[in-house]
Amino acid sequence: SQWLGMGRELLAREPEFRRALLQCEEAMRPFVDFSLLEQLTGESEAWLERIDIVQPALFAVGVALARLWRSYGVEPSAVVGHSMGEVAAAHVAGALRLEDAARIICTRSQLMRRVRGKGAMAVVELAAPDAERAVAPYQGRLCVAVSNGPRATVIAGDPDALRQLLGALDAQQVFCRLLKVDMASHSPQVDPLLDEHVELLREVRPGDAAEPMISTVSGAPVEGGRLDAAYWARNLRQPVRFFEAVAHLAREGTFV
**Averaged pLDDT, 117-130:** 98
Is the predicted pLDDT of residue 256 greater than 70, yes or no? no
Return the CA Rg of the chain.
18
Q: Give the three-state DSSP class for 36.
A: helix
Distance, CA of 124 to CA of 134 (rounded, Å): 11
Q: How large a percentage of the chain has pLDDT more than 70? A: 99
pLDDT on residue 75: 95
The CATH fold assigned to 8-114+190-251 is: Malonyl-Coenzyme A Acyl Carrier Protein; domain 2 (3.40.366)
Would you state the pLDDT for residue 52?
95
The whole model's pTM is what? Answer: 0.95
Q: How far apart are CA 83 and CA 227, in angstroms?
A: 14
pLDDT of residue 49: 85
Q: Give the 3-state DSSP-derived string for 94-145, with helices as H, strands as E and coil as C.
A: CCCCHHHHHHHHHHHHHHHHHHCCCCEEEEECCCHHHHHHHHHHHCCCEEEE
Q: Which of the four pLDDT bands, split at 50, 70 and 90, describes residue 45?
A: confident
119-181: CATH architecture: 2-Layer Sandwich (3.30)
Q: Which residues of 227-242 are buried (b: 16+ CB within 10 A; e: fewer)?
A: bebebbbebbbebbbb
Predicted local confidence at residue 254, as pLDDT? 87
For residue range 127-148, what is the model confidence (pLDDT) as tens digits?
999 999 999 999 999 999 999 9
High-pLDDT (> 90) share of the chain, %: 92
Q: What are the boundaries of each domain within the chain?
A: 8-114+190-251, 119-181
Instruction: Give CA–CA dist 18/8, Å, rounded.
Output: 10
Q: Is it the case that residue 179 has pLDDT exceeding 90?
A: yes
pLDDT for the residue numbered 212: 97
Question: Per-residue confidence at 226, pLDDT binned at 50, 70, 90?
Answer: very high
Whether the predicted pLDDT of 5 surpasses 80? no
